Structure 1
Amino acid sequence: MDISFDFRSEDYGELQHLVDALFAPGVSRYATVTKLDVLMRAEAFDLCADLAEVIDLLPSSTFTRTQLCDQMNSILSGHGWGGVYGTVE
């Protein structure tokens, strides 16, 4: 008997949209954003409470896209939310 709990929230993929908005296509892979940049953009996206918590848990730092995604994915994984909200790249 295979029991699978593959629940996706209606907010699935919202963090990916946020990352894509912060790092527009064609922007250098060395471009950076600060936590404040992420917080301000997240406010505009009106994220659900769980995803707002992911943003709040980011360290105060400057991030390349790769670094930001690694941090977010680590937080999502630590909460067991990767399957519910999706991971970012």
Structure 2
Amino acid sequence: MQMGMFQAEEFGDLQRLVDGIFSDGRATVDRLDMVVQAEILDLVPDLMEIVELLPPGTYDRQRLCDQINSALAAHGWGATYGTVE
């Protein structure tokens, strides 16, 4: 790991959110479902910010992951919180 980079205690929480929301076999999820589930999981404010940055719409898993990873990269938080797939 580079100097100044660390994994937060919440590392992987977004991956668990994505895995959980698609665990019932659904093909798509909408932004509101993601926000509500993130609130239920009581994600830390940084991760809530990432979820709330999702534009309104419906997402398949790949598109959702692309959007989340893009927001993480823009904030420089990928190494801290982990990316999603």
SS of equivalent residue, structure 1 residue 33: strand
Task: Identify unmatched segments of 5+ residues in structure 2.
Answer: none
Q: Distance in 2 between matches of 1:81 and 1:43?
A: 20
Corresponding residue to 1:65 among 49, 61, 76: 61
Q: CA deviation at 1:5?
A: 2.6
The one-letter amino acid of 1:17's match is: R
Name segments (4+ residues, structure 1) moved above 6 Å.
Answer: none
Q: CA deviation at 1:6?
A: 2.9
Aligned-residue Cα RMSD (Å) equals 1.4
| TM-score, reference length from structure 2 | 0.93
Task: Identify unmatched segments of 5+ residues in structure 1.
Answer: none
* Alignment: residue pair count: 84
| TM-score, reference length from structure 1 | 0.89
Give the number of the structure whose alpha-carbon radius of gyration is greater: 1
